[in-house]
């Protein structure tokens, strides 16, 4: 019984990962549909700063991005792309 509970708890800690290229393309398509500009502002060693409309966001420079991080960035873009835009 204890092992089953541990497995369930560990399952909650694992999250899906999103490919960085697909992540950026998804934002680009949504920005184009809304008539917003999606552009790279600057690059650093571990992060990039992008701008969509008036909103600037920081994206980690990794091949894959944790799904929770991706959803947080999607939510940060809601003022320019609309509420829940990534769920469509």
Q: What is the pTM of this model?
A: 0.80
Would you kindly state where each structural domain of the chain is located, as residue ranges? 17-87
Q: Which residue has the higher pLDDT, 12 or 72?
A: 72
Tokens encoding 8: 């369930």
Fold of 17-87: Metal Transport, Frataxin; Chain A (3.30.920)
What pLDDT sits at residue 88? Answer: 73
> In the prediction, which pLDDT does 6 show?
45
Quote the pLDDT of residue 2. 52
- What pLDDT, on the 0 to 100 scale, is given for residue 87? 87
The distance from CA 8 to its chain's CA centroid, rounded to whole angstroms, is 26
pLDDT digits (tens, 9 = 90+) for 19-66: 999 999 999 999 999 999 999 999 998 999 999 999 999 999 999 999
Distance CA 69, CA 58 (A): 10
């Amino acid at each position: 019984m204890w092992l089953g509970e541990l497995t369930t708890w560990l399952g909650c800690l694992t999250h899906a990962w999103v490919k960085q290229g697909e992540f950026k393309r998804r934002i680009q398509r949504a920005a184009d549909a809304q008539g917003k500009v999606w552009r790279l502002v600057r690059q650093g060693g571990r992060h990039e700063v992008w701008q969509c409309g008036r909103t600037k966001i920081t994206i980690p420079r990794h091949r894959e991005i944790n799904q929770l991080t991706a959803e947080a960035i999607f939510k940060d873009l809601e003022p320019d792309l609309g509420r829940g835009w990534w769920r469509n």
